[in-house]
C-alpha cells in the first residue's frame, strides 16, 4: 500500500513539473 501511495505521489509530482516547465517554456518563448 505504501509503495502504491509513493508511486502515485511521484507520478503527480512528475506531471506537475512537466506542466510547470511547459508553461514556463510557453511564457519565455512565445513572442508577445
Q: How far apart are CA 22 and CA 16, in angstroms?
A: 10
pLDDT of amino acid 2: 82
Q: What is the pTM of this model?
A: 0.54
Residue found under cell 513572442: 31
3-class secondary-structure state, position 1: coil
Comparison of pLDDT for 3 and 29, the residue scoring more? 3
Closest CA to 15 of 7, 3, 27: 7
pLDDT of amino acid 27: 86
Domain boundary assignment for the chain: 1-32
pLDDT of amino acid 32: 59
| pLDDT tens-digit readout, 7-27 | 999 999 999 999 998 998 888
Amino acid at each position: 500500500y505504501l509503495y502504491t501511495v509513493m508511486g502515485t505521489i511521484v507520478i503527480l509530482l512528475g506531471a506537475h513539473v512537466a506542466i510547470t516547465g511547459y508553461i514556463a517554456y510557453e511564457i519565455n518563448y512565445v513572442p508577445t
